[in-house]
Amino acid sequence: MADSELDPPGNGWPQRSLHALRNTPALVAAMAVLSLGMVVSSAVLIKGFRQADDSITVTGASTERIRSDAVDWSLEVRQGGTSQGDSYRALLPAVATTTAFLRARGLTDAEVQLGAVRSEREDVRDPSTGMLRSSVWTSRQPIVVSSARVELVSQVARDAARLIGEGVPLTINDPAYTYGRLAEKRVDMLAKATRDARARARAIAAEADARIGAIVNADTGSFQITAPNSTETGDTGSYDTRTIDKDITAVMAVTFRVE
């Protein structure tokens, strides 16, 4: 029998579908109803998901030039001898010459500290028999300079090489320049990075005729302290101590609600 004979004129799909269901085995009918319900449920879930996901995540950054306010610098005087006593006695005049050099250039006793003397013995043995031929002792005196006068220490460190020319057996390390108010500066830099992220998010949202709302989430990214104009980066951050002037860069990943 044709569908037109079963359905009154003008009726649409729903009544034809109900009629078809009346003539369909029970299991097939149940599956059809279940499928219809899943379509409706899916539509509700997708709509709810879109409402909850109306957000945008933007990375903001802030960079500022700072000047180090502290410096640590170390030297080591060393002397050798055939015995521990000989090497130590030979060490004393070289240490005196080095400390006199530092004080003559304006460093104070409070800024110059002598570390503990270390002595090491190196045995020279016959390669064939293993018998001891001789022993050489080396005594080492570390000298540590800590100061807030970074420019002065930087100049003294450059001039210290002349001691080597005068015969002082010396190891000269590079000064390490640091910034003491880093914790305070970090808070300020992260706030500026967040403001930068908001400005970027507003520019992006404006292209879609939307408005940026409250912050949903904020993740602190890497905190880089590098030499000026450096492109060096690190996944866990970096801290350059080689230069007096430094660039601090803070990065924030901020998620905003879109309204």
pTM exceeds 0.85 for this model: no
DSSP string, 54-73: -EEEEEEEEEEEEE--EEEE
Is-contact 226 232, C-beta < 8 A?
Answer: yes
* Rounded Cα distance, 225 and 243, in Å: 10
Is-contact 21 29, C-beta < 8 A?
Answer: yes
**Domain assignments of the chain as residue spans, ordered by start:** 3-52, 55-67+181-258, 70-178
Neighbours of 19 (CB within 10 A): 14
- pLDDT, residue 126, reads 76
Task: Please give the structure tokens belonging to residue 185.
Answer: 């500066």
Sequential pLDDT tens for the chain (259 residues): 444 444 444 444 444 444 444 444 443 444 443 343 433 333 333 222 234 468 999 999 999 999 999 999 999 999 999 999 999 999 999 999 999 999 999 999 999 999 999 999 988 887 888 888 878 999 999 999 999 999 999 999 999 999 999 999 999 999 999 999 988 888 899 999 999 999 999 999 998 889 999 999 998 877 889 999 887 766 667 889 999 999 999 999 999 999 8
* Rounded Cα distance, 129 and 242, in Å: 49
**CATH fold for domain 55-67+181-258:** Translation Initiation Factor IF3 (3.30.110)
Neighbours of 171 (CB within 10 A): 12
- pLDDT, residue 234, reads 64
β-strand partners of 29: none
CA-nearest of 105, 117, 133 to 76 is: 117
The strand pair at 245-258 and 112-114 is best described as unpaired
Domain 70-178 bears CATH identifier 3.30.70.2970? yes
